[in-house]
Structures are given as structure tokens and as C-alpha cells.
Amino acid sequence: MSDKVVPGRNTAAAEGDVVVFHIGLRINRLRAFSSWFPAFMSMPRMLRELSQEMSRLNAVHAGRCSLSC
């Protein structure tokens, strides 16, 4: 990895199955509180669930089970 930020859009040359989890929140209008606040409040729950399922995700990544395991 590099410490430099690469501007623009980038892709990776990956072989096989690839899964990317992108969890984030962008606030376009701060005053539109009711549009972004529910997503903001659910973020800790999403991250907690993802961290609890990390062993299952690693097993899927290693090819030891299918996505339905």
C-alpha cells in the first residue's frame, strides 16, 4: 500500500470472486436532518454486525463454504 492518495477512479485486476463492503455516509445538506440522521444512527449497528460475522466472511473468502453457510 501507498501513503499517497491516487486521484480519480481506480480498478483492481482481480481473479476469481471478489466481494467489497463499502459502508459510508455522505451528507449533502446538513439541514436536511431527517434524510441523513436515520442512516447515521444505523451505522454502529451495521458495523457491529459486520464485525460479528467476520469469521463467516473470512471462511467465504478462503473458499471453505458457500455464501449460504
What is the full per-residue pLDDT of the chain (69 aa) written as tens digits?
568 877 888 787 888 877 777 778 888 999 999 999 999 999 888 888 877 777 776 665 555 444 444
Nine-digit cell string for 56: 463467516
Count CA within 13 A, CB hemisphere, residue 47: 9
Answering whether pTM is above 0.85, one says: no
Q: Where are the alpha helices (DSSP H) in 1-69?
A: 33-52, 54-62
